[in-house]
Amino acid sequence: MKRIFTYMIVLAGLLAAGGCSKWLDVKPYDKIAEDELLLTEEGYMKLLNGIYIELNRDMLYGASLSVEMIEIMGGAYTVGTDNSVWGNYRDLAEYQYGTQYWRARMNETWNKAYSLILNCNMLLENIESDRKLFTEDNYRMVKGEALALRAMLHFDMLRLFGPVYSRNPQQKSIPYYKAYSVTPNDVLPASEVASEITHDLLEARILLANDPVREEGTMMESPSDGSSNFLRYRSLRLNYYAVSALLARSALYFGDKEAAYEYAMEVIKSGAFPFVDRALVTGSPDDPDRIFSSEVIFALSHSQRNTLFKNYYDPSRIPNYVFRMDNDLMSNVVFGGGAATGGNQDDYRYRVNWVATGANRYFYKYSDMNDTGNIRNTMIPMIRLGEMYLIAAECQSEDIAGGTAYVNALRSNRGVTNVPELTKEILQYEYIRELYGEGQLFFMYKRMFTPVMFSSQPSKNPQPDERIFVVPLPDSETEN
């Protein structure tokens, strides 16, 4: 079984290692002796790192589930009508999931996610018999992160392909793989998948109880003595607080507001992810920290992150497609509109991430910093502090106004004035302002079962519908 996994992980991760960030400490495949793989503590660490690397693939969070496919589904971009420019994106903007192109794309995302789940399971099965290989607390760290990765991947497959949970929690959804197996598992009701996700995250949280992030913070630099990076760069791994944040996100999705609030507040109160220093955003206009890196609880590290900007947002791509928000929606509603929307063009999120070129503004969150060697220049945010404040606000009670203080605490660190009273509409606009370009908007609309905001004109926005929010299972699953 170990030999099978050796070749599987080579295909799944190590071939990509040559372009990874230095923090991963993964050697190119031709320099890894076979006896390192699942036979040493270092080998386990490298295999785990290989899974993190593979999350950067285009069919997962390197494009499809971060800035591209899922954001079009979430109404983040204005997609034109000229097929010669926009091609298959026109179909996706109209939720035509049944085309040959999008069936194939969804299939790629599904297959890659489950291949990495398979890798997690092989690691988890072997680690139990190899505990003697590990020093100090490293067994618990490796196992905890692998469990969290397994849960996170299942959760995103459930959010994408599963039913609208708030309406049909007992409806069949996706399979949940807890063991390495080449035999297809049964498709489970969404509620059972939710239980498995929660169980894995809770176990991971226990295993990561001694995560150094709890005492020493994120430690986003290499050790001066040249020792291993494995217990450093904690924002680039599923650390203890990242697991708590995923529990907050998933509990809210599953309708357990009490638990979601508890986990969100644990992260907020930890102080491990302070709000970005204003001087790093507006005080350094030539090199702003556009992702507010100190607030990022978990991010992927992609050495070529600038390709996200070049491939999708760079205005120099015109006349090819360029992703951007509807101008009227952006300027007069999301970052305008006054008290009704909470929009304000003094907002840091507007000032540094939206750059004017001619009559339009373009999204620059993922453009290169001047200091391209800075670790911040590689980060693709997966979950951040601002979302914890928004979850805390949403979970206050049936009266959304009870969350006003949490939203205003966030807004005070975005350079804008308080809202007098939180409404559901303002909360949604805050989610858009905070999480734009990070792959979360479609899931917000699906969770709330509300219209998707493509336009400033409500009549043009798609109304909530199962046909919009429930992506059909891929052919590879239904054929199995």
> Considering the entire predicted model, what is its pTM?
0.93
The letter for the amino acid at 291 is I
- Full DSSP string of 78-125: ---S-HHHHTTHHHHHTT-TTSHHHHHHHHHHHHHHHHHHHHHHHHHH
- For residue 357, give the 3-state DSSP assignment: strand
The reported pLDDT for the residue numbered 36 is 59
Q: Which fold has domain 2-479?
A: 1.25.40
**pLDDT tens digits along 253-306:** 999 999 999 999 999 999 999 999 999 998 777 789 999 999 999 999 999 999
Q: Residues with Cβ < 8 Å from 448, sequence gap 6 or more?
A: 166, 424, 428
Query: pLDDT at residue 12 above 70?
Result: no
Structure confidence at residue 238 as a pLDDT band (50, 70, 90): very high
Of 78-87, 110-119, 220-229, 421-430, which gets the smallest average pLDDT? Answer: 220-229
- Full DSSP string of 134-156: --TTHHHHHHHHHHHHHHHHHHH
Please report, to the nearest 10 degrees, the dihedral formed by the alpha carbons of residues 262, 267, 268, 272 taken in order.
160
β-partners of residue 300 are 380
**pLDDT tens digits along 113-136:** 999 999 999 999 999 999 999 998
The reported pLDDT for the residue numbered 5 is 38
The reported pLDDT for the residue numbered 39 is 87
Structure confidence at residue 33 as a pLDDT band (50, 70, 90): very low
On whether the CB atoms of residues 184 and 480 are closer than 8 A, the answer is yes
**pLDDT tens digits along 141-177:** 999 999 999 999 999 999 999 999 999 999 999 999 9
Nearest Cα neighbor of 264 from 385, 422, 397, 442 is: 385
What is the rounded average pLDDT of the residues 61-89? 96
The reported pLDDT for the residue numbered 283 is 79
The reported pLDDT for the residue numbered 480 is 67
